[in-house]
Amino acid sequence: MDVVLQFPAFYAVLVLRFFAGLVLLTGFFCFVWPAKSIGFYIWVMDQFNWAVRPKDENREVRTTRFLGLLLICLGAMTSYVVMFMPSYYPPI
For residues 82 and 32, the model is more confident at 32
Among the listed residues 80, 89, 91, 88, the one whose alpha carbon sits nearest the alpha carbon of residue 17: 80
Q: How far apart are CA 34 and CA 71, in angstroms?
A: 13
For residues 89 and 67, the model is more confident at 67
Rounded mean pLDDT of the chain? Answer: 85
Other C-beta atoms closer than 10 Å to the C-beta of 83 total 10
CB 63 within 8 A of CB 70: no
Is residue 39 scored above 90 in pLDDT?
Answer: yes
Is residue 91 scored above 70 in pLDDT?
Answer: no
Is residue 51 scored above 80 in pLDDT?
Answer: yes
Query: Taking the domains of the chain in order of start, what are their residue ranges?
Result: 7-83
Q: What is the pTM of this model?
A: 0.73
- pLDDT tens for 53-81 read 889 999 999 999 999 999 999 999 988 88
DSSP conformation class of 92: -
Among 1-15, 32-46, 53-67, name the one with the lowest average pLDDT.
1-15
CB 38 within 8 A of CB 61: yes
